[in-house]
Amino acid sequence: METTEAKKTTKKDYRKLILEGYKTHVLEHGIAPKSVFKFAKDLKMKEEEFYNYFTTFDSIKSAVWLQIFEDTLLQVESQEVFKEYSAREKFLSFLFTWIEELKKNRSFLLSMYGEGSKNLVSLPKEANEFKDKFKDFANEIILEGKETEEIASRPIISDRYDEAMWFQAWFVFRYWLDDRSPRFEKTDAAIEKSVNLAFDLMGKSALDSFLDFAKFIYQSK
Amino acid sequence: MAEKLREQQAIPVSKVQRAAKFISTGAKVGGNYVKHYAKKMVNPSMDKEELHANNASDIYNSLSELKGSALKVAQMMSMDKNLLPRAYQDKFTMAQYSAPPLSYPLVVKTFQKHFSKTPEQIFETFTRSAINAASIGQVHQATKDGKKLAVKIQYPGVADSVSSDLKLVRPFALRLLNMNEKELDHYMAEVEEKLLEETDYVLEIQRSREISSECGHIPNLKFPIYYDEYSSDRIITMDWLQGDHLKEWLDTNPSQKSKNQIGQALWDFYHHQVHNLKKVHADPHPGNFIVQENDQLGIIDFGCVKVIPEDFYQGYFALIKRDLLMKEEELNQIFYELEFISDKDTAEEQAYFKGIFKEMIGLLGRPFHVDRFDFADDGFFEQIFKLGDRISNEKMFRKSKQARGSRHGLYINRTYFGLYNLLNQLQAEVDTTKPDWLK
């Protein structure tokens, strides 16, 4: 990865330098840098140069999330078999790979989010951009799932499926942060089970037949 | 406080969901009893068999959804046929064949974790879905260099959930098996140890190799070759043994001669392990055996191997000597050593248990008392089941606070019951060889 980035323009290089510099700072000091001035100085660049790439530290964090997401997508789509996957398998594959990408940054993420992970029920604002991108991806899967009838279209609720999948991804992230099992096997099991549950719920089920029947009884009274 | 909250967020997926599963089964089983008694009021001639059948299917359904160690316990119970009413047995035997499969992305992920490659990158072909479900994993078929391979992949997190699964199974086992708590804990401790061993695939390969090479000289046996370069502690790659499972093979109506040959190979395999190697493939369920061309018996899955301690071996197998049943003194001595009876028992208890165990030994040792035994004799098995049923309903057994029998006996008993059972299914007549000191 290092080499491919380096071949690109110098502009990209600075961006990368800042991203990596930020991560390293957090990893080595355990906290975020105090000021942009100090941080830029450490990277041997001028403060105003820094603002060419990022305007706040939060936007760096946001970029970290996005980078992880994009690396995951690249990974996933490079697998031959991905195209043949069903919607359920695509989402599973995404989450499994995402966790692998997160793993590369585990220390960073732990020092950012590990301590107060119970507060993470509400989303940190720097993850918003990632969330939007994720929802685009989720909507693609949902659309495909609806086409193959893996996912049932239901009034009102089915418009919120992307939100549900986001909630699930976030649940997996929090689960993984606290996971103490070797090779994070429990997280794998959690992904497998929760995705199966989610897709079973989103798919056509006895519930639909029940609602249909209830509607019929109500209307024909 | 913060720590606590986090803990609770982490647990639900596994434990609470699993518990909920068991509770719903419990409710169903309860419901079956209600149904049973309601039906019985209408039709007094109805027997308990139907009730057992209903219970068995509900319990099985729940266990097979849980996979992992719970499924393993179902298997265990299905092996100990003496302990279970008939109707449970058939249903539980199904547990040995099918469980819902792992998703393919997880298979890919497991491969990437262990080999940093996807299955497609390693093998020429690799089946997307599982060909077979093993109790704590699933089997895919692959090819490489023109060879057909079987690739067994373990469900993630199984090793971690063994203990908590067993705790969940406990109340059910208690009710189903009519055991007292002491006895069950005794049993569970041994089961837990063995289950944890089974999740260690590296150990499994090592043992498979040991036993296969040491049993290689026995006629009509076939063992797969294991491939280290495609194996890890969660994945085992071995030769694909072409052939039929025992049940399928029996459906093809093989000749009596063929059945005897397979039966004899099976007997010899166990004889050599128990008496010469002192460690034994303790999982003789039909799914672990494959009949190949020319009536060769292929043996797979060495996940469960019981090492037999020397002092236990001496005492336990001395029991199968025929003339022993006559010698009161010597028999009592062995009963003490094997912890069948102890000083804590009252005189009444001692007399009672001695009687029961003597009856059991007389029955179970019968194949050893002759040179050739016909396992097709259903009458013999009927007697074993009857004795098992009778014991599980005896008040003396349930009241007794002692755990009876050395813990090593659990898996050895299971092995022999399994072996007898397989031979019975085969309807085979075999030379029941025994070591010289037992002749």
Burial of B43 (0-12, 13-18, 19+ CB in 10 A): exposed
Q: Report the complex ipTM.
A: 0.76
Contact B103 A81 (CB under 8 A): no
Contact A81 B104 (CB under 8 A): yes
Local structure of B61: helix, strand or coil:
helix
Which chain A residues touch B102 with a CB distance below 8 Å? 192
Q: Is the pLDDT of residue B74 over 70?
A: no
Residue B175 pLDDT grade (very low, low, confident, very high; cuts 50, 70, 90): low
Residue that has been written with the tokens 């490079």 in this structure: A78
CA distance B65 to chain A (A): 11
Alpha helices in A8-86 (DSSP H): 10-29, 36-42, 47-53, 57-78
The pLDDT of residue B415 is 82
Lowest mean per-residue pLDDT among A18-32, A33-47, B411-425: B411-425
Residue A133 pLDDT grade (very low, low, confident, very high; cuts 50, 70, 90): very high
The pLDDT of residue A122 is 67
What residue type is assigned to position B65 of the chain?
E
Please give the mean pLDDT across all residues of chain B.
74
Instruction: Decide: B119 and B237 in contact? Cβ < 8 Å.
Output: no
* Structural domains in chain A, sorted by start: 1-55 (1.10.10), 62-216 (1.10.357)
**Nearest 10 degrees: CA dihedral of B74, B77, B422, B411?**
110
Which chain A residues touch B5 with a CB distance below 8 Å? 118
Alpha helices in B43-157 (DSSP H): 48-66, 68-79, 86-95, 104-115, 119-122
Instruction: Decide: B354 and B341 in contact? Cβ < 8 Å.
Output: yes
pLDDT cut 90: percent of chain B above it: 26
Mean predicted confidence (pLDDT) in B266-289: 88
Return the number of other C-beta atoms located less than 10 Å from residue A55's C-beta: 11
The pLDDT of residue B373 is 93
Which of residues 47 through 106 in chain B touch A, CB cutoff 8 A? Answer: 102-106
Return the number of other C-beta atoms located less than 10 Å from residue A6's C-beta: 11
Contact B10 A188 (CB under 8 A): no
Q: What is the pLDDT of residues B54-66, one digit of tens each?
A: 555 555 454 444 4
For chains A and B, what is the number of CB pairs under 8 angstroms? 74
Which chain B residues touch A88 with a CB distance below 8 Å? 103
The pLDDT of residue B330 is 78
Instruction: Decide: B269 and B218 in contact? Cβ < 8 Å.
Output: yes
Q: What is the CA radius of gyration of chain A?
A: 21
Residue B399 pLDDT grade (very low, low, confident, very high; cuts 50, 70, 90): low
Q: Is the pLDDT of residue B93 over 80?
A: no
The pLDDT of residue B54 is 55
Instruction: Report the alpha-carbon distance of residue B139 to residue B287 in Å, rounded.
Output: 12
Lowest mean per-residue pLDDT among A103-107, A114-118, A214-218, B363-367: A114-118
Q: Which helix (H) or strand (E) holds B374?
A: strand B372-374
The pLDDT of residue B230 is 93
Q: Is the pLDDT of residue A202 over 60?
A: yes
**Nearest 10 degrees: CA dihedral of B250, B252, B258, B259?**
20
Q: B44 — contact with chain A (CB < 8 Å)?
A: no
Contacts 24+ apart (CB under 8 A), A207-216: A208/A152, A208/A154
Give the pair of three-digit tokens for residue A174.
Answer: 């929090």
